[in-house]
Amino acid sequence: MSDGQRTATRLAITWTRSAIGRSFHQKRIIRALGLHRLNETVEHDASPTILGMLRKVPHLVEVKEVEGEGGDA
């Protein structure tokens, strides 16, 4: 790798708590993350956009760092 390139951190995001009774905006964030069902897990690169979404719904999701080379986002 050259000095200008870095591998992006991958995050495994699992939807753990229901969005029933939550605000419309929190429900939209869950959908925007690509989550459709409880206990579903998706992977995303740790971009500022994704990290901002996760800061809005930390009580609904569980986030873990994923080891290894990233795929497509």
Give the tens place of pLDDT for each residue, 5-52. 566 799 999 999 999 999 999 999 999 999 999 999 999 999 999 999
Write down the pLDDT at residue 36. Answer: 97
For the chain, the structural domain boundaries read 10-66
Nearest to 14 by CA among 65, 72, 71, 73: 65
Nearest to 54 by CA among 21, 1, 15: 15
Assigned token pair, 21: 């009774």
Please, what CATH class does the domain formed by 10-66 belong to?
alpha beta
Write down the pLDDT at residue 5. Answer: 57
> DSSP characters for 11-65?
EEEEE-S--TTS-HHHHHHHHHTT--STT-EEEEE--HHHHHHHHH-TTTEEEEE
Write down the pLDDT at residue 8. Answer: 78
Write down the pLDDT at residue 14. Answer: 98
With contact defined as beta carbons under 8 Å apart, do 67 and 17 qualify?
no
